Chain A
């Protein structure tokens, strides 16, 4: 009995939270410049409420994660990771530009390696990070074993994934799956 009540509570909370975020999003994107400077009109705002409601009922189950997932801690660890990732994007572009103009060699190879990551969000983040960092692109992921197939443009970038493993450790730290 208590379990179902708790589930019901969580469901109401998810719907309310998703609706608030979606409505704020709508206000930021369209209402602020178009509707709010004009005189207040319920029919205009109601369009936003309707749109937010539709999106809420389609997505609240995946938008708000279950209890006990330490969302706040993960978010706090994720923000410095995004900063590091932007720096890596800059390095990746410089690296490709050097190979385009012939300063560094092009010697492609396909590598496979296993990681400790298992959850969907961690796998996707790591796959996108591989593509954004210098010289490597994800080809395929096997979620059961955390196995990645990666195309590396030269030996150096391939070794940074298989030998150094800086990025695995960082993603594992963010999602607590070391």
Chain B
């Protein structure tokens, strides 16, 4: 089972690395809208890779189907929640950072 362990660890590590990239972007980007870019996009690929790692580790059982459904649900819910936050900020009139402005 060593090969499966190695492959699933690679997937989990890649997913975690992408999540960390998203977090660095969350701290580094200048305003709310650009921060949503960092979290909203990195989380999607990060969760796909982490769930694939779990699926490979588990082997092909019925838990695989549940994990697949979790992943598919996230692909629908992730963009929708990002969009809801963006719209709330835009409607309440949060200013948009332009190049050269001070960091918000």
Interface residues of A (CB under 8 A from B): 28-29, 32-33, 86, 89-90, 92-93, 95-97, 99-101, 105-110, 127-128, 131-132, 134-135, 137-140, 149, 151, 153
Is B33 in contact with A151, judged by CB distance below 8 angstroms? Answer: yes
Name 6 A/B residue pairs within 8 A (Cβ), A-sorted: A29-B66, A89-B44, A93-B46, A101-B24, A128-B76, A151-B86
The residue in chain B whose Cβ has the minimal distance to the Cβ of A133 is B41
Q: Smallest Cβ distance from A77 to chain B, in angstroms?
A: 18
Contact of A92 with B33 in the complex, beta carbons under 8 Å: no
Task: Work out how many contacts link A and B, with CB atoms closer than 8 A.
Answer: 102
**B28: A residues at CB distance < 8 A:** 100
Residues of A with C-beta under 8 A to B24: 100-101
Chain A residue contacts of B87, Cβ below 8 A: 139-140
Interface 1/0s, chain B 33-59, versus A by CB < 8 A? 110111011101110100000000000
Contact residues on B (Cβ < 8 Å of other chain), bracket: 35 or more
Contact of B10 with A by CB under 8 A: no
- Once the chains bind, are A128 and B90 in contact (CB under 8 Å)? no
- Known contacts A100-B28, A140-B87; is A108 also within 8 Å of B45 by CB? no
Q: Are A139 and B21 in contact (CB under 8 A)?
A: no
A109 partner residues in chain B, CB cutoff 8 A: 96, 98
Q: Distance in Å from the Cβ of B92 to the closest Cβ of chain A?
A: 12
Chain B residues contacting A131 (CB-CB under 8 Å) are 40, 79, 82-83
Interface positions, chain B 58-104, Cβ under 8 Å from A, are: 62, 65-66, 69, 75-76, 79-80, 82-83, 86-87, 90, 96-99
